[in-house]
Amino acid sequence: MAKLKTERLTLRPFRRDDAEEFARLAGDWAVASMTSDIPFPLKADQAMLWLTPVRGEVRFAIEYEDRLVGGAGFYSRASGSAELGFWLGRPWWGRGIASEAAREVVRHGFTRHKVPTFTSAHFADNAASRNVLRKLGFQPAGACEIQCVARGHDVSAMTYWLDRAHAERAIPGLARPAASMGRLRDFITWARRGLEKAKEPSVS
Ligand SMILES: CC(C)(COP(=O)(O)OP(=O)(O)OC[C@H]1O[C@@H](n2cnc3c(N)ncnc32)[C@H](O)[C@@H]1OP(=O)(O)O)[C@@H](O)C(=O)NCCC(=O)NCCS
């Protein structure tokens, strides 16, 4: 699996020796209770299950200042769209890390995995996740109930989708190179015409 770099982060595959730190950070109630599938409490041997992506999953460990601080990734749905997920250990909240990591994962999904559309969801009481998704260009799709393993019951959730056009408006540098090349060609043609015109003899 690829290793991705952002301004402050390294996104890399999880390793077996991440299990203990994964369990400590993701097993925090404040994190587990905002995800659908992380149990509470979470033990290191259970955390092992999250370290190896199952077929079709793309799952990155987020490293900040050489420490494991969270995770971000996606899995393909039967429809072909990819469901985005992310979490961050509580000590690192509020520094823009989730936004920076999720942006890179979405960029990677569109460019390397040819993801046609992303979907995602957050529990209704999770404003931070809503803000991360909206900053990436995710569009509200509706509301539903999603199971929360940690809370032990279904929880109201908001669902979202993101196509490439919306992502390109929200994520700098995602626009297809072909489009930029097209714009560059247009500019060169325009500049050439200007030069030719300037060379034409003028009538005074
Ligand atoms: C959601 C989560 C990943 C956000 O991580 P983070 O690194 O703190 O997020 P960022 O710093 O990138 O902040 C994203 C935006 O949300 C805002 N935000 C952060 N915490 C917030 C809160 N508690 N309430 C409202 N807005 C909040 C930030 O101000 C920022 O918006 P801005 O750039 O316009 O200022 C983190 O809180 C988390 O792991 N929570 C538990 C697990 C979880 O919810 N995972 C997502 C499941 S859908």
Query: What would the pLDDT profile of 36-74 be if each residue is shown by its tens digit?
Result: 999 999 999 999 988 988 888 999 999 999 999 999 999
Q: What is the pLDDT of residue 130?
A: 98
- CB of residue 129 inside a 6 A radius of ligand 1: yes
- CB of residue 86 inside a 6 A radius of ligand 1: yes
Residue of 29, 46, 21 whose CA lies nearest to 150: 29
Q: Is the pLDDT of residue 2 over 60?
A: yes
Cα distances (Å, whole numbers) of residue 22 to 19, 41, 108: 5, 12, 23
Pocket test for ligand 1, best of 25, 99, 149 (most atoms within 8 A of CB): 99
Q: What is the pLDDT of residue 203?
A: 59
142 SS3 class: strand
Going along the chain, which residue ranges are E strands? 4-5, 9-12, 57-64, 67-76, 82-88, 117-123, 139-148, 153-163
Q: What is the pLDDT of residue 140?
A: 98
Q: What is the pLDDT of residue 53?
A: 81
| Distance of CA 127 from the midpoint of ligand 1 (Å) | 7
Percent of all residues in the chain with a pLDDT value above 70, rounded to a whole number? 95
User: What mean pLDDT value characterizes the chain?
Assistant: 93
Let me know the angle formed at the C-alpha of 98 by 88 and 10, rounded to the nearest 5 degrees.
Answer: 90
Report the pLDDT averaged over residues 171-193.
77
Phi, psi at 110, each rounded to 5°: -70, -40
Q: What is the pLDDT of residue 179?
A: 56
Q: What is the pLDDT of residue 202?
A: 63
Q: How many helices (H) and strands (E) does the chain have?
A: 7, 8
Pocket test for ligand 1, best of 25, 92, 129 (most atoms within 8 A of CB): 129
Q: What is the pLDDT of residue 35?
A: 98
- CB of residue 132 inside a 6 A radius of ligand 1: yes
Q: Is the pLDDT of residue 204 over 60?
A: no
Of 166-170, 176-180, 194-198, which range is least confident?
Answer: 176-180
- What fold characterizes domain 4-175? Aminopeptidase (3.40.630)
Let me know the angle formed at the C-alpha of 151 by 146 and 153, rounded to the nearest 5 degrees.
Answer: 50
Q: What is the pLDDT of residue 201?
A: 67
Name which residue leads in pLDDT, 56 or 183: 56
Q: What is the pLDDT of residue 42?
A: 97
